[in-house]
Amino acid sequence: QVQMRESGGGLVQAGGSLRVSCLASGLPSSRVTMGWFRQAPGKERETVAAITWSGGGIYYADSVKGRFTVSRDNAKNTLYLQMNSLKPEDTAVYYCAAAQAYGGSLLYTEVRSYDYWGQGTQVTVSA
């Protein structure tokens, strides 16, 4: 059974930092592209960042470039998102997901490309 479990969300003041983590287990293969996504109330889910299995391919949404850093530890099956200089508009439920196609070698930026999803963790940034 595949489980994607996010942790580390919470409440932070604008300008602050937070790191969210995602532990993956039960994946048919560990060679997956992984991504972080977020969904604010009344809005569609959007891609925040993505990273290939090797870490050689990384994508960031324009809205988080220079503030967020995605990384992964394949030995621990864990994905991270370091979020700095947080803004109130970053408030959302953050989800992690994994895409299995092509052994994690391709960088997928679309929500529909991902196969396995976590339940999400709330990140709230106060003004």
Over residues 20-60, the pLDDT tens digits come to 999 999 999 889 999 999 999 999 999 999 999 999 999 99
Cα torsion angle, 33, 108, 40, 125, sign: positive
**pLDDT higher than threshold 90 for residue 10:** yes
- 70-78: average pLDDT: 97
Task: Work out the mean pLDDT of the chain and round it to a whole number.
Answer: 96
**What's the rounded mean pLDDT across residues 11-23?**
98
d(CA 16, CA 34): 25
